[in-house]
Amino acid sequence: MTKPDALIFDTRGGAFPSPQLAPVSAVQLTDAFWAPRLETNRVRTLPTQYLQLEETGCLDNFRRAAGQEGLKFRGWVFADTDLYKWLEAAIWALASGPLPELEARIESAVALIEGAQDTDGYLNTAFMFDRAPERWATINTEGNNHHELYSAGHFFQAAVAHYRATGSERLIAVAKRLADHIAVAIGPGEGQKHGVDAHPEVEMGLVELFRITGERRYLESARYQLDARRGMGRINGAEYPFLPIREYDRLVGHAVCAVYLMAGVADVYAETDEPALGALLERLWANMTQALMYITGGIGPRWDNEAFGADYELPDRAYAETCATVGSIMWSARMLVQEQDAKYADLIELSLYNGFLSGISLDGQSYYYQNVLGDDGTQRRQAWFGCACCPPNMARLFAQLPGYFYSVAPGCVFVNLYASGEAHLTLPADETQEAREVQLIQETNYPWDGRIQITVQSEGKFSIALRLPAWARDVSLSINDEALPNPVAGDYARLTGEWKIGDVIVLDLPMPVRQIVAHPRATSLFGRVALMRGPLVYCFEQEDNPFVDVRDIRITPTSKFTPELDQGLLGGVVALRGDAGVVNEKDWAGALYREASESGEAELEARAVTAIPYYAWANRGAGAMAVWVKRG
């Protein structure tokens, strides 16, 4: 058993030696942006979600499986995953400080899970008693099944988290029995079930369980899931080509399935170095970021089957499921620790601040399943969903978030994300050097301001590598007020030296308002523009612009936007205020189409308009919202 208290994905190394993410408990955020959200997650989101687990029958399903009488199974066949994700979230949330009630609920959940496991190691409350004969019955190579492996995968992740955060082996013991059961029941051998789950997830869990226990058969089970699979993400009846996964040249099908699968591929690749998997990961990550991704980091435009569409298919009415953004972050995190390429941390940052954070209300108690980029005011957050995958997935990522801020490698600490706080890190040993402690203090008003000051609290020779986001221009970087030459945006700036306690690094990332356009092949975005500042995507909401339907706003070549910090607005945000053209479309009265020659130049009335960060939309009265507005 190895490495308690670390949110890690890889120990293999690559261009950089063995980077891994920081332990969650090693990073204490104290900033005004994330720290309050993480505290809301701890004290409001997790308790209200627990009530949902009780109300929807999720907890009763475990009690029933453990033998309590008079209960019926309720919910989807994968309802167990609601508890597993909540449990993982609760476990990591305790890294930020004790919460006795939460600890008691974790203890109770651990006991529930122990009690629900069958004597042969099987664990899934949907297939007990009269439905026990259905176990593994629908598994096949195209993945049309009951999501038993998907549920197992989420349990493995929760068990690993429990061990890493607390050192307890109680859930690991349950997990090993289940993983041993799976290794016997499913595989390529005679007498085994041949097949995979429609919903990938177990691959990640099995590899992590391998990393903790050293049991290679868990890694083999994970690899078998990739080898046996035909098709990438088939759910909701949609039809896509069923290829062996190594043969895909683009992401297809159910978006959450596809990115969870790629995260699992990354885990298997990290442990096997199979070149075909490495090439697949590079190819599909490029496809996602170059042709399939919303400006918010959201993915999967299609409402009909929660799926990826054609290249450049990016309608305003995005599906962009919150879980898909979470899955994209999980995938990029695994790529990051293998290659420590800044592009992966750039995408994590973009996704966190926009397509992820839009999924939850400021009060932490209602959620978007779909994250549209334009709306007439009808799409609102909900307290829960019949298929409640997204809410506990958000709680889990919030709780893990401190671990994403830094990567550690022998002799080097990588600063992936920016927020005020303290980090107490251990750089691991390698052949040439011993492990060493490194403490850093970050001070910044990021993402509202791009000045970041890092005070070194450890001495000795090591490297500090700062991510310079690709969106940045005119970056400046100094050590103890001495400017460093030519920092390159889109890369880590690696500062190596003999550090003294009190050394101060200042990174300045100017944050002008950027007017962003999309690739011309993205036809629905042609002639339109979106505003960004720093990592944040902005939107126009009706509430701030009552004199116009926000969809009629046009940004002209002379429009200038100014950032203004407004502490009273939406929990404190930098709003963008500027002049835009507002068009009176009244001359269209009654017409939906007309000849171009009838349309003169639109008469623009200059008006002061206000944009707010996209993540904060729909926290006031219902009204129209637009990320993309017209140019011209």
Give per-residue burial for 396-428: e unless 16+ CB within 10 Å, then b.
Answer: bbbbbbbbbbbbbbbbbbbbbbbbbbebbbebb
58-65 and 46-55 helices, crossing angle to 10° = 60
d(C-alpha 368, C-alpha 380), whole Å: 7
553-555 vs 629-631, strand pairing mode: parallel
Q: Which residues of 523-552 are buried (b: 16+ CB within 10 A; e: fewer)?
A: eebeebbbbbbbbbbbbbbbbbbeebbbbb
User: Does 138 contact a copy of itself by CB under 8 A?
Assistant: no
CB of 81 to a copy of itself, least distance (A): 22
Instruction: Report yes or no: 54 and 110 within 8 Å, Cβ to Cβ.
Output: no
Give residues 376-415 in contact with a copy of itself (rule: CB under 8 A): 376, 378
Task: Give every strand in the sheet of 421-427, ordered side by side.
Answer: 27-29, 421-427, 436-444, 451-456, 504-508, 476-479, 482-483
Q: Which is nearer to a copy of itself, 480 or 523 (CB)?
A: 523
Tell me how far, at minimum, the Cβ of 383 lies from a copy of itself, in Å: 15
User: Is the Cβ of residue 304 or residue 474 nearer to a copy of itself in the bound state?
Assistant: 304
For 327: left if phi > 0, alpha if psi spans -120 to 50, otherwise beta; the answer is alpha
Smallest CA-to-CA distance from 54 within 71, 30, 34, 31 is with 71
Question: Shortest Cβ distance from residue 627 to a copy of itself (Å)?
Answer: 11
Which listed residue (527, 562, 565, 603) binds a copy of itself by CB under 8 A?
Answer: 527
Footprint on residues 290-309 left by a copy of itself (CB under 8 A): 290-291, 293, 295, 302-304, 309
3-state secondary structure of 415: strand
CB 62 within 8 A of CB 155: no
Q: Cα Rg for the chain, rounded, in angstroms?
A: 25
Among 426, 433, 478, 515, binds a copy of itself (CB under 8 A): 515
Q: What are the φ/ψ torsions at residue 444 (nearest 5 degrees)?
A: -170, 160
Q: Would you count residue 594 as binding a copy of itself (CB under 8 A)?
A: yes
- Specify the residue, 96 or 358, whose C-beta has the smaller distance to a copy of itself: 358
Stretch of residues binding a copy of itself (CB under 8 A), selected from 135-143, 408-416, 453-461, 547-555: 547-555
- Identify residues 253-292 at the interface with a copy of itself (CB under 8 A): 286, 289-291
Q: How far is the CB of 152 from a copy of itself (least distance, A)?
A: 29
Indicate which residue of 88, 148, 201, 306 is catalytic: 306
2 is a site residue for a copy of itself (CB under 8 A): no
Asked if 522 touches a copy of itself (CB under 8 A), the answer is yes
**Considering the rule CB under 8 A, would residue 526 count as an interface residue with a copy of itself?**
yes
**Least spacing, CB of residue 344 vs a copy of itself, in Å:** 15
Calculate the alpha carbon distances from 78 to 16, 108, 223 in Å: 39, 20, 23
- 387 as an active site residue: the answer is no
- Residue 484 is a binding residue for a copy of itself (CB under 8 A): no
Instruction: Work out whether 311 is an interface residue with a copy of itself (CB under 8 A).
Output: yes
Residue 2, both tokens: 């190895």
From the list 24-32, 202-210, 422-430, 595-603, the region that binds a copy of itself by CB under 8 A is 595-603
Q: Which two structure tokens, joined as six digits, stand for 400?
A: 């893990």
Min dist CB 4 to a copy of itself, Å, is 40
The 10 Å Cβ neighbour count of residue 435 is 12
Unique residue bearing structure tokens 């309608």: 315
632 sits near a copy of itself (criterion: CB under 8 A): yes
Secondary structure class of 631 (helix, strand, coil)? strand
The string of DSSP letters for 241-289 reads ---BGGG-SS--SBHHHHHHHHHHHHHHHHHH--HHHHHHHHHHHHHII
Segment near a copy of itself (CB under 8 A); pick from 97-105, 161-169, 573-581, 591-599: 591-599
Active site includes 482? no
Q: Which is nearer to a copy of itself, 193 or 317 (CB)?
A: 317
What whole-number distance in Å separates Cα of residue 451 and Cα of residue 77? 49
**Cα–Cα–Cα angle for 572, 576, 579, nearest 5°?**
150
Between helix 148-166 and helix 202-213 the angle, nearest 10°, is 40
Residue 19: CB minimum distance to a copy of itself, A: 25
Q: CA 179, CA 186: separation in Å to the nearest integer?
A: 10
- State which of positions 364-383 bind a copy of itself (CB under 8 A): 374-376, 378
Segment 596-615, which members bind a copy of itself (CB under 8 A)?
A: 596-597, 599, 602
Q: Which stretch binds a copy of itself (CB under 8 A): 264-272, 311-319, 459-467, 566-574?
A: 311-319
Task: Decide: is 481 part of the binding site for a copy of itself (CB under 8 A).
Answer: no
Site string for a copy of itself, 548-567 (x = CB under 8 A): -x-xx---------------
Q: How far apart are CA 16 and CA 338, in angstroms?
A: 8
Q: Binding residue for a copy of itself (CB under 8 A) from 98, 133, 546, 590?
A: 590
Q: Report in angstroms how near the CB of residue 311 gets to a copy of itself at its nearest.
A: 7
Q: Does 451 bind a copy of itself (CB under 8 A)?
A: no
β-pairing, 553-555 vs 482-483, is: unpaired
Q: Cβ–Cβ contacts within 10 Å for residue 378, how many? A: 8
Which CB, 136 or 294, lies closer to a copy of itself? 294
What span, in angstroms and rounded, lies between the C-alpha atoms of 578 and 229? 52
Q: Yes or no: say if 259 and 268 are a contact pair by the CB < 8 Å rule.
A: no
Instruction: Report the nearest approach of a copy of itself to the CB of residue 312 (Å).
Output: 8
Catalytic residue among 58, 389, 412, 539: 389
Choose among 611, 469, 609, 471: nearest CA to 538.
611
Member of 591, 600, 601, 621 binding a copy of itself (CB under 8 A):
591
* Near a copy of itself by CB under 8 A: residue from 150, 285, 462, 628: 628
| Binding of residue 630 to a copy of itself (CB under 8 A) | yes
| Nearest Cα to Cα of residue 291 among 543, 92, 606, 522 | 522
- 520 lies in the binding site for a copy of itself (CB under 8 A): yes
1 or 286: CB nearest a copy of itself:
286
Q: Bridge-partner residues for 365, per DSSP?
A: none
Q: Binding residues for a copy of itself, how many (CB under 8 A)?
A: 56
CA distance linking residue 88 with residue 162, whole number of Å: 7
Nearer to a copy of itself, 363 or 603 (CB): 603
Kindly state whether residue 490 participates in binding a copy of itself, applying the rule CB under 8 A: no
The contact pattern for a copy of itself, residues 331-370, with x = CB under 8 A and - = no contact, is ----------------------------------------
Q: Among all residues, which ones are annotated catalytic?
A: 306, 389
Q: Which residues bind a copy of itself (CB under 8 A)?
A: 286, 289-291, 293, 295, 302-304, 309-311, 313, 315-317, 374-376, 378, 514-524, 526-529, 549, 551-552, 583, 585, 588, 590-597, 599, 602, 626, 628, 630-632
